[in-house]
Amino acid sequence: MNPALTEASFGPGVLRLMLGDITRVSADALVNAANEGLVGGGGVDGAVHRVGGPQIMKDLALYRARGGCPTGSAVITPGHALPVKWVIHAVGPIWRGFGTQEELLLEDAYQASCALAAEKSCAKVTFPSLSTGAYCFPVEKAAPVALRTVAGELAKGGSMKEAVFVLFDRGTLTAYARALSALK
């Protein structure tokens, strides 16, 4: 049995997994686990707003005025006090046990994030595990969707050359490492 991977190449890009605090990792863009109302929250979203400062919430006012951000989509703001140029606020689905529908919405959220990163010519993008915290998406189901989607974008050879999944706890890192091993 091969040990679980924490790094793999896809086309000209590399996908890495690490344990840590996403708000402390330098990158061109950070993907934030946002909610549809773009009103802030706990987990990754709360940390992004605490570290990034109140200007991020002010920047999101334009999107809130337009109705927020539907599940499966994303919007972008400057990074302000974060060690990134851009914050991509992606809305993953709340897990209700519907399986395929929720997996497709999760894939859409990652694809929308990658598209916004490409629009800004971001070479290094950090990602959390969308929807697996307060939204209760099982990490064992979310990890393969997340990695397959982002690896597919790396393989296309666009501006993104490095995708780093910054995972908050060991259990999530282990699930992602198993999924990455299975993907390779």
Active site residues: 45
At position 35, the amino acid (one-letter code) is N
* The two structure tokens encoding residue 172: 């999530």
Contacts for 34 with CB less than 8 Å, ≥ 6 apart: 41, 45, 69, 74, 75, 89, 90, 91
How far apart CA 133 and CA 168 sit, in angstroms, is: 10
User: CB burial class (10 A; 0-12, 13-18, 19+) of residue 65?
Assistant: exposed
How far apart CA 96 and CA 136 sit, in angstroms, is: 8
How far apart CA 56 and CA 62 sit, in angstroms, is: 11
How far apart CA 48 and CA 59 sit, in angstroms, is: 13
